[in-house]
Amino acid sequence: MLGKTYERQDCSIAGALEAVGERWTLLIVRDAFYGVRRFNDFQAHLDIPKAVLSDRLNGLVEDGILARVPDPAHAGRHLYELTDSGRELWPVIHSLLVWGGKHRRANSRVLRHAQCGTRLSESGRCEVCGVAPGPEDLISERRRGYQPKRDDPVSQVLRAPHRMLEPIET
């Protein structure tokens, strides 16, 4: 996206879009909510040129949305994890998920409240418990009968129900 900024826009939406409005950025954040943490896993799941992925990850780290932490299992490598500020992007991700599922293409996954198993309403609330669970209290699972189109290692792991934010192992 040419000109990443909206300098002449005096508005917090423009401010948010400067951080997450570039191509691919919100899909990277989505994957981070799914538990993706390694460069190669993002790359395999997103089919994104490595140069762009590298640029976006650096930008997200600079903006405090992801943190680059040393990988305890592999010296010299990093993991990318959502910061608190990044986790607060959940309502953005969820509202796009709901709108896209309704108006563009059906969701491949459904979200349930981990404590009671209820499917989330469109507004992101669990109507049984009367709360709006954070992503850490949600289980994402494949919609029944859904035929997955992708076959990379991350997609394979995500075929099983999975608690959001829990790191995935490929």
Q: Which residue has the tokens 């490929």?
A: 170
78 binds, among a copy of itself, DNA, none (CB under 5 to 8 A by kind): DNA
9 binds, among DNA, a copy of itself, none (CB under 5 to 8 A by kind): a copy of itself
Cβ 59 to DNA, closest distance in Å?
A: 9
What's the angle, vertex CA 153, arms to CA 147 and CA 157, rounded to 5?
Answer: 65
Cα–Cα dist 116/121, whole Å: 14
Q: For residue 86, give the amino acid letter.
A: G
Site string for DNA, 66-95 (x = CB under 7 A): -----x--xxxxx-----------------
Subset of 6-35 contacting DNA (CB under 7 A): 22-24
Stretch that binds DNA, among 52-60, 104-112, 123-131, 157-165 (CB under 7 A): 52-60
46 contacts 27 by C-beta, under 8 angstroms: yes
Q: Is 160 in the site for a copy of itself (CB under 8 A)?
A: no
Which tokens in the block code for residue 31?
A: 């994957």
Could you give the 3-state DSSP secondary structure of residue 156? Answer: helix
42 contacts 31 by C-beta, under 8 angstroms: yes
Exactly one of 36, 60, 66, 89 binds a copy of itself (CB under 8 A); that residue is: 89
> Contact residues for DNA (CB under 7 A)?
1-4, 22-24, 38-41, 47-52, 54-55, 57, 71, 74-78
